[in-house]
Amino acid sequence: MPHIKECRAPDLSEFHSPVVSEYALRIVFHGAGTSDRRARSFVINFILSVDKAIREYNAARELLVQYAASSNRTTLLIEGLGRFETCINSTKRALRSIDRLAAQQAGPEVERLTRRLLQSHKALITCIRDSIEHMDAFVQTGELKEGEPHALAISPDSEFLEIASYRISLASLAQLLRRLRGLASELTEFKEQPSENVDA
Protein backbone atom coordinates (compact mmCIF):
# COMPACT_ATOMS: atom_id res chain seq x y z
CA MET A 1 0.00 0.00 0.00
CA PRO A 2 1.47 3.40 -0.95
CA HIS A 3 2.45 5.90 1.75
CA ILE A 4 -0.09 8.42 0.38
CA LYS A 5 -3.49 7.79 -1.21
CA GLU A 6 -3.44 10.93 -3.35
CA CYS A 7 -1.24 13.90 -4.14
CA ARG A 8 -2.74 17.12 -2.84
CA ALA A 9 -0.13 19.45 -4.31
CA PRO A 10 -2.00 22.16 -6.25
CA ASP A 11 -1.67 21.89 -10.01
CA LEU A 12 0.65 24.51 -11.55
CA SER A 13 0.77 22.98 -15.02
CA GLU A 14 -0.75 26.19 -16.40
CA PHE A 15 2.76 27.64 -16.12
CA HIS A 16 4.15 25.39 -18.84
CA SER A 17 5.90 28.18 -20.74
CA PRO A 18 9.18 29.42 -19.18
CA VAL A 19 9.31 33.12 -18.34
CA VAL A 20 12.87 33.37 -19.65
CA SER A 21 11.56 32.79 -23.21
CA GLU A 22 9.12 35.66 -22.77
CA TYR A 23 11.92 37.84 -21.44
CA ALA A 24 14.22 37.06 -24.37
CA LEU A 25 11.49 38.02 -26.85
CA ARG A 26 10.81 41.30 -25.05
CA ILE A 27 14.52 42.15 -25.07
CA VAL A 28 14.85 41.50 -28.79
CA PHE A 29 11.59 42.99 -30.05
CA HIS A 30 10.65 45.60 -27.43
CA GLY A 31 13.97 46.80 -26.03
CA ALA A 32 13.12 45.54 -22.55
CA GLY A 33 15.68 45.13 -19.80
CA THR A 34 18.31 47.23 -18.08
CA SER A 35 21.81 48.21 -19.13
CA ASP A 36 23.07 47.89 -15.56
CA ARG A 37 25.15 44.70 -15.48
CA ARG A 38 24.42 43.72 -11.87
CA ALA A 39 20.71 44.43 -12.01
CA ARG A 40 20.45 42.53 -15.30
CA SER A 41 22.24 39.55 -13.78
CA PHE A 42 19.93 39.48 -10.74
CA VAL A 43 16.83 39.68 -12.96
CA ILE A 44 18.02 36.83 -15.19
CA ASN A 45 19.06 34.68 -12.22
CA PHE A 46 15.69 35.32 -10.58
CA ILE A 47 13.72 34.38 -13.68
CA LEU A 48 15.79 31.24 -14.31
CA SER A 49 15.38 30.17 -10.67
CA VAL A 50 11.61 30.68 -10.78
CA ASP A 51 11.31 28.74 -14.04
CA LYS A 52 13.32 25.87 -12.57
CA ALA A 53 11.40 25.86 -9.29
CA ILE A 54 8.06 25.58 -11.11
CA ARG A 55 9.39 23.00 -13.56
CA GLU A 56 10.65 20.83 -10.69
CA TYR A 57 7.44 21.33 -8.68
CA ASN A 58 5.32 20.13 -11.61
CA ALA A 59 7.60 17.15 -12.21
CA ALA A 60 7.50 16.26 -8.50
CA ARG A 61 3.73 16.53 -8.39
CA GLU A 62 3.31 14.27 -11.41
CA LEU A 63 5.58 11.64 -9.88
CA LEU A 64 3.61 11.67 -6.62
CA VAL A 65 0.32 11.40 -8.53
CA GLN A 66 1.74 8.30 -10.24
CA TYR A 67 3.03 6.95 -6.93
CA ALA A 68 -0.31 7.36 -5.15
CA ALA A 69 -1.99 5.38 -7.94
CA SER A 70 0.68 2.67 -7.93
CA SER A 71 1.19 -0.50 -5.93
CA ASN A 72 3.72 1.27 -3.69
CA ARG A 73 6.34 1.90 -6.39
CA THR A 74 8.73 3.52 -3.93
CA THR A 75 11.09 4.77 -6.63
CA LEU A 76 8.37 7.18 -7.78
CA LEU A 77 8.08 8.58 -4.25
CA ILE A 78 11.85 8.94 -3.86
CA GLU A 79 12.26 10.64 -7.21
CA GLY A 80 9.29 12.93 -6.59
CA LEU A 81 10.67 14.08 -3.24
CA GLY A 82 14.06 14.63 -4.88
CA ARG A 83 12.37 16.94 -7.38
CA PHE A 84 10.74 18.83 -4.51
CA GLU A 85 14.22 19.24 -2.96
CA THR A 86 15.42 20.89 -6.16
CA CYS A 87 12.27 23.04 -6.25
CA ILE A 88 12.94 24.32 -2.72
CA ASN A 89 16.59 24.99 -3.51
CA SER A 90 15.63 27.02 -6.60
CA THR A 91 12.94 28.87 -4.64
CA LYS A 92 15.58 29.88 -2.09
CA ARG A 93 17.83 31.20 -4.88
CA ALA A 94 14.93 33.17 -6.35
CA LEU A 95 14.22 34.85 -3.00
CA ARG A 96 17.90 35.70 -2.59
CA SER A 97 17.99 37.28 -6.07
CA ILE A 98 15.03 39.49 -5.14
CA ASP A 99 16.90 40.74 -2.07
CA ARG A 100 19.91 41.62 -4.20
CA LEU A 101 17.85 43.24 -6.94
CA ALA A 102 16.00 45.36 -4.37
CA ALA A 103 19.36 46.67 -3.11
CA GLN A 104 20.28 47.99 -6.58
CA GLN A 105 19.55 51.59 -7.52
CA ALA A 106 19.45 50.74 -11.22
CA GLY A 107 17.07 48.34 -12.90
CA PRO A 108 13.45 47.43 -12.15
CA GLU A 109 11.99 48.22 -8.76
CA VAL A 110 10.22 45.55 -6.74
CA GLU A 111 7.26 46.97 -4.81
CA ARG A 112 7.71 46.84 -1.05
CA LEU A 113 4.41 45.03 -0.47
CA THR A 114 5.31 42.37 -3.04
CA ARG A 115 8.72 41.94 -1.44
CA ARG A 116 7.19 41.59 2.03
CA LEU A 117 4.74 38.94 0.84
CA LEU A 118 7.56 36.95 -0.74
CA GLN A 119 9.99 37.41 2.14
CA SER A 120 7.39 36.21 4.66
CA HIS A 121 8.20 32.71 3.35
CA LYS A 122 11.95 33.20 3.37
CA ALA A 123 12.79 31.95 6.87
CA LEU A 124 10.93 28.65 6.48
CA ILE A 125 12.24 28.02 2.96
CA THR A 126 15.77 28.72 4.21
CA CYS A 127 15.41 26.32 7.16
CA ILE A 128 14.09 23.54 4.94
CA ARG A 129 16.76 24.13 2.32
CA ASP A 130 19.52 24.17 4.95
CA SER A 131 18.16 20.98 6.50
CA ILE A 132 18.27 19.28 3.10
CA GLU A 133 21.81 20.48 2.38
CA HIS A 134 23.32 19.97 5.85
CA MET A 135 21.47 16.96 7.25
CA ASP A 136 24.72 15.03 7.72
CA ALA A 137 25.92 17.76 10.09
CA PHE A 138 22.62 17.71 11.99
CA VAL A 139 22.93 13.95 12.48
CA GLN A 140 26.59 14.27 13.50
CA THR A 141 25.89 16.92 16.15
CA GLY A 142 22.76 15.24 17.47
CA GLU A 143 20.47 18.13 16.51
CA LEU A 144 18.02 15.76 14.85
CA LYS A 145 15.49 14.50 17.37
CA GLU A 146 14.11 10.97 17.52
CA GLY A 147 11.31 10.51 15.00
CA GLU A 148 12.11 13.61 12.94
CA PRO A 149 12.54 13.02 9.18
CA HIS A 150 16.23 12.91 8.18
CA ALA A 151 15.32 13.45 4.52
CA LEU A 152 12.55 15.39 2.81
CA ALA A 153 9.31 13.49 3.32
CA ILE A 154 5.62 13.94 2.63
CA SER A 155 3.05 13.65 5.42
CA PRO A 156 0.61 10.71 5.26
CA ASP A 157 -2.25 13.11 4.48
CA SER A 158 -0.09 14.47 1.60
CA GLU A 159 -0.63 18.03 2.81
CA PHE A 160 2.93 18.83 3.96
CA LEU A 161 6.57 18.41 3.04
CA GLU A 162 8.63 17.70 6.17
CA ILE A 163 12.25 17.48 7.23
CA ALA A 164 13.80 17.65 10.71
CA SER A 165 11.46 19.89 12.77
CA TYR A 166 10.25 21.89 9.75
CA ARG A 167 7.22 21.48 7.52
CA ILE A 168 5.66 23.49 4.72
CA SER A 169 2.24 22.89 3.26
CA LEU A 170 2.14 22.11 -0.43
CA ALA A 171 -0.60 24.73 -0.76
CA SER A 172 1.73 27.39 0.70
CA LEU A 173 4.59 26.34 -1.56
CA ALA A 174 2.32 26.52 -4.61
CA GLN A 175 1.07 29.96 -3.57
CA LEU A 176 4.64 31.20 -3.18
CA LEU A 177 5.57 29.87 -6.62
CA ARG A 178 2.55 31.62 -8.14
CA ARG A 179 3.66 34.92 -6.61
CA LEU A 180 7.24 34.45 -7.76
CA ARG A 181 6.03 33.61 -11.25
CA GLY A 182 3.84 36.71 -11.32
CA LEU A 183 6.76 38.90 -10.32
CA ALA A 184 9.00 37.26 -12.91
CA SER A 185 6.47 38.13 -15.62
CA GLU A 186 6.28 41.73 -14.37
CA LEU A 187 10.06 42.07 -14.53
CA THR A 188 10.09 41.06 -18.20
CA GLU A 189 8.09 44.22 -18.96
CA PHE A 190 10.65 46.61 -17.48
CA LYS A 191 12.09 48.91 -20.11
CA GLU A 192 14.83 51.36 -19.27
CA GLN A 193 13.87 54.93 -20.01
CA PRO A 194 16.37 56.88 -22.12
CA SER A 195 18.13 59.62 -20.16
CA GLU A 196 17.22 63.15 -21.15
CA ASN A 197 20.04 65.43 -22.19
CA VAL A 198 19.53 68.86 -20.75
CA ASP A 199 21.42 71.70 -22.43
CA ALA A 200 23.47 73.80 -20.05
Q: Is residue 198's pLDDT more than 60?
A: no
Give me the pLDDT at residue 149, please: 84
Distances (CA, A) of 37 to 9, 34, 117, 123, 135: 37, 8, 27, 29, 36
Instruction: Give the angle subtended at the CA of 8 by the CAs of 87 and 60, to the nearest 5°.
Output: 30
Report whether pLDDT(197) > 70.
no
pLDDT in tens, 158-168: 999 999 999 99
Domain assignments of the chain as residue spans, ordered by start: 19-120+171-188
pLDDT of residue 123: 92
Is it the case that residue 188 has pLDDT exceeding 70?
A: yes
Q: Is the pLDDT of residue 195 over 60?
A: no
Q: Are 156 and 68 in contact (CB under 8 A)?
A: no
> What's the mean pLDDT in 22-38?
75
What is the pTM for the complete model shown?
0.89
Answer yes or no: is pLDDT of 200 > 60: no
100-146 tens-digit pLDDT: 888 887 778 888 888 888 888 999 999 999 999 888 777 766 677 77
DSSP 70: S
**What rounded mean pLDDT belongs to the chain?**
87
pLDDT at 196 over 70: no
CB contact at 8 A, 12 and 54: yes
- Give the model confidence (pLDDT) of 61-104 as tens digits: 999 999 999 999 999 999 999 999 999 999 999 999 998 888 88
Contact 79, 67 (CB under 8 A): no
**For the chain, percent of residues with pLDDT exceeding 90:** 56
Cα torsion angle, 129, 135, 136, 138, sign: positive
Query: Do 171 and 98 meet the contact criterion of CB atoms below 8 Å apart?
Result: no
Q: What pLDDT is attached to residue 142?
A: 65
What is the number of other CB atoms lying within 10 angstroms of the CB of residue 36?
15
Are the beta carbons of 98 and 46 closer than 8 angstroms? yes
Torsion of CA 24, 29, 31, 34, to 10 degrees: 0
Choose between 103 and 198: higher pLDDT: 103
Confidence (pLDDT) at 175: 96
Collapsing DSSP to helix, strand or coil, 157 comes out as coil
Would you give the DSSP letter of residue 169? E
